[in-house]
Structure 1
Amino acid sequence: MTYSYNLGFAADDAIQASHPTCELEGVLSDDEVVQILRWTDEWLKAAIDLGFVELPHALEESMVANIRACYRMKMNPEEAVFFCFRLRDESQLF
């Protein structure tokens, strides 16, 4: 089964293009994939609402790595937005 990141902004091709399609079968359960996609949607919404991101927006690889680290550290999406954009001008987290 192949999943494509869906940030809830399906009408915006620029957003969809910035997120690669991942082969996740056998790695994560469907529930885990849905949970990650939901958290990522909430992260993007918080980043927009807080004024850190304007659409269309393409994420840099270092930001994607930081977002993943925040998810693994069990931060809520809003905490992760502040954390990621604080680090943006310093360096990659991991």
Structure 2
Amino acid sequence: MSTFDLNISASGLQHPFDTQSQSPFSRFQQAFSLRFAEWKHRRTLVKLLDLEDAILEDMGTRRADLFAALELPLSQSASKALAQWHAERKVTG
């Protein structure tokens, strides 16, 4: 089997998250469930605001970072943003 044959046989496969083949209700349901999960996660981040600044620093985050992450739209992951900001802070000091 050549590479060309492999590409032809794989062309009929669909990506599991292919939004073109999903119904509008399925896309809505998927988007809603992702945003709901993000909202639930942010509720736990709010509880971190009760901690002292020294404890937050030990955890590798700052109070300002938590506020900024909570202000992001629900379509963006607050956890990924916090991790990215922490990594940038480690590099820049």
**Fold in common (TM above 0.5):** no
Question: TM-score, normalized by length of structure 1?
Answer: 0.33
Question: TM-score, normalized by length of structure 2?
Answer: 0.33
Question: Per residue, is there more helix in 1 or in 2?
Answer: 2
Using CA pairs under 8 Å that are at least 6 residues apart, name the structure with larger relative contact order, 1 or 2.
1
Question: Per residue, is there more strand in 1 or in 2?
Answer: 1
